[in-house]
Chains A and B, each alone.
Chain A
């Protein structure tokens, strides 16, 4: 390092941490199984998450079959139905979305994008994955346990979650669920500390915080939030486990269950809801913020234009992250908590709409006067904007306390949160995979299969969830095994439900084409070469593609500019990589 001419470059501050090569793998086992390389761990995380996500997908098919065609499928009993919806929700929110964004993209992209050789604690990083895998296995085991998995709804509200009127409540289903969550949180904490410390301490020389790509800002902020939010779920899970196994009464008041007086007394079911949503609301943004960050980068690269209002985007991410800790009780407007809380939480909830709206404006303004290449990542990014705007706006209904009253606990809520934290982030995940697949494998994903996948997924998902809002507006509660044709319905929703089911089956099937594409293109895809999208950020600048162990060969990259020097006036090409020491654009300011 010392001999390099730009090592003495006065533009760059000295490195804070000495450049150390992470430990090399010595055997097949430590290379391919117990790997300590963040890139390999990322793929292990993502592969496991996608595998359990497929289970969640199949569960959604089963529940939609019941709702669309009630009475046809005998094996879907009420018990089974509630087990399907519970496991679908929990798998998708925690074991798929959280794991893919943080464990998957976080592990792969953070070290590469900040110019580090690896995460700062590679061994702990490896443990993080194996504990996550254990959590998934415990979750899967509950499907085979006597009584099956819990059917308490993904929110696991006591008292019903641990009583016999709920599937898995009096058997082992709920126990395995809680144990699995506890394991997940332990595993996540190990990974999360790694991501945070790596971003703060292991950035290469010249990579200031305000030069980080928004992807890193999104993942970093989400991880900090997760480290603060998951402990609330951890204690709630432990306390409920005690209530279930040891007979404590943290969440259990005196009650008579099916004619029998139980020995509980004095506990508060609402206390659980506060703990759950103190975790649960930040969790929404734990999924959303990495998506916000990634989609900003996809838009910039594929529109050949700088992200509009970068500093505002960073502060919006941080502001949303902070505000999301004081809005949790908007999930509880009709829970029976003191009604005056409604004033406070409605106000904070609607305030959070402002930084969120700013982000949307800036994405659209990034496209304004851009040079938009309609690549697959760009298409998915556009799909994200549409579904996120739609789902965000319906949040203004549910956040405004009195408007929430008629809509709460109806299918409107289900439609809202699927649009905003299901479809929209998954659009980003898919776009991101199309974008970074060439980096991970050295080959491009097949275009024809990709376009088929995009159109079915985008239009199909909109066709599932847009009409579902109106099922809720009619008055159909969520978590109903069968609604029938009650007199309050001016128009029966049967036909609409059948339509939604057909759309859901189709969208699910299209994901199989995507999975096949992942496999097929790894062998037969067009060879990508290095930096196929002509991006500016460090992950595309490794000496070898796909990046090898240690990422950077002999010397760490040095950073001279922000991540968005696209289409700079007077520059010979329409992008300048972050390591280029050439003159900065006069308008780029302090970045």
Chain B
């Protein structure tokens, strides 16, 4: 008896919590509204199934509880019912899967007009690299990494000279421009996660991963690492600003290029040697 009431209360409580509680996702700031829609559809379908199954369970427990003289009905199989239930379930599952796969196709197909931004993760900070005037990123490798070349850009690659480097700083993105995030790590797994953008992908040392999105809302957003990366994982945060195209150009022109880095490194190296040579 009590258990039947509790089962009903669990259903009512779960639905009420879902509908009334203030805990819900953060407003979206990218083009991935389709993902939100798919998620809401999934909530509805699974929610209805949950309510129906648990209420039916509660009814059974109440209606067929043991009473003196009551006897169960011997009922081993029912082919028709079993086939029907299987077919209905298969249709419901397909209804969830098919739209999901269409949205996934969009998610993994980068539009031709997307600009590239490279994110380079390390324990425990975010660095960025943007293509310079030539519009191309130079090649990179871990063995090129040094104090003067923190992202390991290939010094012999002419496309790399004008690459813009942002070391441990903030990223600006122009609103409305599709962007392909090229994700790279120089040490362990990380994951570049901005809740408002809905997208997410691990960064794996030794390879370049990616996702794409279009920022749709001007504002400041927090970057979080979403793949465990060691002791300071929970503190590996950063900021990304979505701004107007004009403001973006202004910001971009203030950043250092790889060539600037190399030039700045030279004199510093000389003073270092001079310092060391003193008795």
On A, residues with C-beta under 8 Å from B are: 78-79, 82, 151-153, 157, 159-160, 163, 165-167, 169, 253-258, 261, 266-270, 303-306, 308-312, 334-336, 339-340, 342-343, 346-347, 350-351, 353-354, 357-358, 360-362, 364-365, 367-374, 379, 382, 385-386, 389-390, 393-394, 396-397, 400-403, 405-410, 459, 462, 466-467, 470-471, 473-475, 477, 479-483, 486-491, 493, 496, 564, 566-569, 574, 585, 587-589, 591
Could you tell me if A473 and B38 are in contact, using CB atoms closer than 8 angstroms? no
**Judging by beta carbons under 8 Å apart, are B46 and A393 in contact?**
yes
| Residue of B7, B71, B189 touching A386 (CB-CB under 8 A) | B7
Are A151 and B231 closer than 8 Å at their CB atoms?
yes
- Pick from A370, A379, A496: contact of B72, CB below 8 A: A370
> Which of these, B17, B61, B75, B86, contacts A372 with CB under 8 Å?
B61
Within the complex, what minimum Cβ distance (angstroms) separates B91 from chain A?
A: 10
Q: Is B242 an interface residue (CB 8 A)?
A: no
11 A-B pairs with CB atoms under 8 Å apart are A78-B231, A78-B234, A153-B228, A159-B188, A159-B189, A336-B209, A372-B65, A405-B200, A408-B200, A493-B23, A564-B76
Contact of B82 among A255, A309, A393 (CB under 8 A): A309
Task: A159-B189, A306-B76, A569-B74 given; name 4 further pairs at CB < 8 Å.
Answer: A386-B57, A402-B101, A406-B35, A587-B74
- Contact: A163 with B188, CB < 8 Å? yes
Structural contact, A334 and B200, CB atoms closer than 8 A: yes
Q: Judging by beta carbons under 8 Å apart, are A165 and B64 in contact?
A: no
Indicate if the CB atoms of A165 and B104 lie closer than 8 Å: no
Indicate if B143 sits at the interface (CB-CB under 8 A). Answer: yes
Q: B residues within 8 A CB of A488?
A: 26, 195-196, 221-222
Q: Are A354 and B23 in touch, CB under 8 angstroms? A: no
Residues of chain A contacted by B189 (CB below 8 angstroms): 157, 159-160, 269
**Which residue in chain A gives the minimum CB-CB distance to B22?**
A491
Complex contacts, B104 vs chain A, CB 8 Å: 339, 342-343, 346, 401-402
Per DSSP, are chain B's interface residues mostly helix, strand or loop, or mixed?
Answer: mixed
CB nearest neighbor in B for A470: B23
What CA separation (Å) do A380 and B14 show in the bound complex? 20
Do residues B230 and A480 form an inter-chain contact, with CB atoms below 8 A?
A: no
Known: A261-B143, A372-B60. A403 touches B24 (CB 8 A): no
Q: What does the 1/0 interface line of B196-225 toward A look like (CB < 8 Å)? A: 101111111111010000000000111011
Question: For the complex, is B257 an interface residue (Cβ under 8 Å from A)?
Answer: no
In angstroms, Cα B53 to Cα A567, docked, is 25
Q: How far is the CA of A305 from the CA of B60 in the complex (A)?
A: 13
User: Which of the residues B70, B202, B231 comes within 8 Å of A165, measured between beta carbons?
Assistant: B231
Bound-state CA distance A371–B69 (Å) is: 10
Chain B residues with CB under 8 Å of A466's CB are 14, 17
Question: Is the Cβ of B35 less than 8 Å from the Cβ of A405?
Answer: yes
Asked, given contacts A261-B143, A386-B10, whether A305 binds B26 with beta carbons under 8 Å apart, the answer is: no
| Closest chain A residue, CB of each to CB of B100 | A400
Tell me, in angstroms, the Cα distance from A490 to B27 when the chains sit together. Answer: 8
- 7 A-B pairs with the lowest CB-CB distances in the bound complex, closest first: A253-B206, A165-B230, A475-B195, A160-B188, A339-B108, A336-B209, A567-B72
The number of inter-chain residue pairs (CB within 8 angstroms) is 335
B29-86 CB contacts (< 8 Å) to partner A: 34-36, 38-39, 42, 45-46, 49-50, 53-54, 56-57, 60-61, 64-66, 70-78, 81-82, 85-86
By the criterion CB–CB under 8 Å, are B74 and A567 in contact?
yes
Question: Which residues does chain B contribute within 8 Å of A491, judged by CB atoms?
Answer: 22-24
Contact check: which of B23, B186, B201, B222 meets A256 at CB < 8 Å?
B186
Q: Determine whether B261 belongs to the interface, using a CB cutoff of 8 Å to chain A.
A: no
A370 to B101: give the CA distance in the assembly, Å.
42
Whether the Cβ atoms of A475 and B25 lie closer than 8 Å is yes
In the assembled complex, the Cα of A531 lies from the Cα of B179 at a distance in Å of 69
Contact status of A364 and B56, CB under 8 A, knowing A166-B231, A390-B50: yes
Q: Which residues of B contact A493 (CB under 8 A)?
A: 23
Q: Is the CB of A261 within 8 A of B3?
A: no
Query: Considering residues B14, B82, B231, which has the most beta carbons from chain A within 10 angstroms of its beta carbon?
Result: B231
Cβ of B5 under 8 Å from chain A: no
Q: How far is A228 from B52 in the complex, measured between Cα atoms in Å?
A: 37
With a cutoff of 8 Å between Cβ atoms, the chain B residues found around residue A406 in the complex are: 25, 35-36, 39, 195, 198-200
Asked whether A382 lies within 8 Å of B142 as measured between CB atoms, the reply is no
The interface residues of chain A lying within 8 Å CB-to-CB of B127 are none
